Structure 1
Amino acid sequence: MDWLIAIVLGVLQGATEFLPISSSAHLRIAGELLPGAEDPGATFTAITQIGTELAVVIFFWRDISRIIAKWFGSLRGTVAKDDPDVKMGWLVIIGTVPIVIAGVLFQDLIRDQLRSLWITATVLIVFGVILGLADMLGKRVKTLETTTYRDGLLIGVAQVLALIPGVSRSGATVTMGRALGYERPAAAKYAFFLAVPAVFGSGFYEAYQAFTEPASIGLGWGPTILATAVAFLVGLAVIRWLMAWISRRSFAPFVIYRIALGAVLLVALSAGWIEAL
């Protein structure tokens, strides 16, 4: 049964990680609804995100490898420090600092209290509304090349909210990007770049913790690795679809979905059909 649950959770992780609807919320809810399952936990979630982030690296490989090469080149003096790719490298580093600090300071909070389904349901609705407003009212004039260090840091601060199941990493960062006036593809692409060091860092740290404390991984290593592989394959397809979607359409369907899911979850909690923790 654990292997089947792992496949389902892997599909969920891959399908929802890049959409602004919160993969951690869907894994948390699925843990309550699937027969024989339970909350997969922060460790399982972080490890499976390695799979989806690997999909990001492969899909944007040309961009990411070029940015890394030029950033190191600027340190050696072989690439101009004002090169756009060098700047993007610094933007990702600066934008990653807030979530690293928050992740270290609030470990216990992330693992326990913030996983309450009452919180998940509430933030699904609240941040769904915020995303809708930002997407509708954003000026849509800034491109990825015009990203400033101030904006990069602000989007990085928004990424910290992704530590709360229900907010969504892409949802929080894209919302901030749209609020600052960036085009949808630009906001999404920077959000993808920004997530790479944060997700890999968190995932490999949690994997190390799981080796030292095997009970923390929940389903066990075999099913977790399977879920990570499934998440990678599904995630790769979803990235391609999402980038095509946002180049022509708004985030409105995701906003509606978030609000509806949050409302259904609140009803289920109020009726006692599922437990918050």
Structure 2
Amino acid sequence: MSDTATPLDTAFPNQPAAQPARPSAREIDATLNRRLADLQASGLRGDYEKQGSFLYIEDFLPAEFTARLIAAVKDVTPAINRNYLPGHKAGGSVSSHTIDKLAPFIADLYRSPALIKWLETISGDKLQLSPADDPHAYALYFYSKPGDHIGWHYDTSYYDGRRYTLLLGVIDDSSCRLDYELHTKNPAVPDQPGSVQYPPGGFVFFDGDKLRHRVTPLGDNELRVSLTFEYVTDPNMKPFKRFISNMKDSIAYFGFGQVFRRKGGKNGTE
């Protein structure tokens, strides 16, 4: 893969105007509640069930939150860990541990009671935050070099319960698509292929063990950045599965330094 400049290197050529003050948890919830009131949760719950625990909304985030996420990309760019698994994936990642330090608004949004309550309505499950030592709890994923992609996979839960994935679009100046297959774990329903190219502020939500999916390769002079939130129904994990999960995350996503970095304090910051 080429080591020449990429669109990420020139994505922020000028110092932007100062960002507004970081909103409080109450302000985040108030803004989200106004947006979520416009969405018909009961109807979307039906769509989610019909699609085998999958839901896509093209325009989900309030515009001011999308702008904050785009600004966060610049803040975390120096901490990107590039990863490459031949035949399966290439790209860059920033873990929750680093996000806590460099872009704390993301952590605040992840923990929003308004968002979690709404997702519970959609999923029909009682959702909990991922444990503080899980680098996947909230993470940014960068596709910035030609060929960056991830092959077909499930977001397998190593927890004792289910793990739900929320994808949020941040930057998409690309031809990449999220390809997926519905109902692959339900023998009573034929598999149903689909594909979306979710824009900044777009939303994808699914049960990680049920949706087979991939991201198609990045083209020349393109850039794609997405944000993931992971919620669980049971935060317990057996020691051997914890070891497997940590090794996978170290090699395939964040590097050993980000995965095994200890966190502490009330908000999980370093």
**TM above 0.5, one fold?**
no
Q: Which has the higher helix share?
A: 1
Give the strand-richer structure, 1 or 2: 2
Q: TM-score, structure 1 length as denominator?
A: 0.24
Length-normalised TM-score, structure 2: 0.25
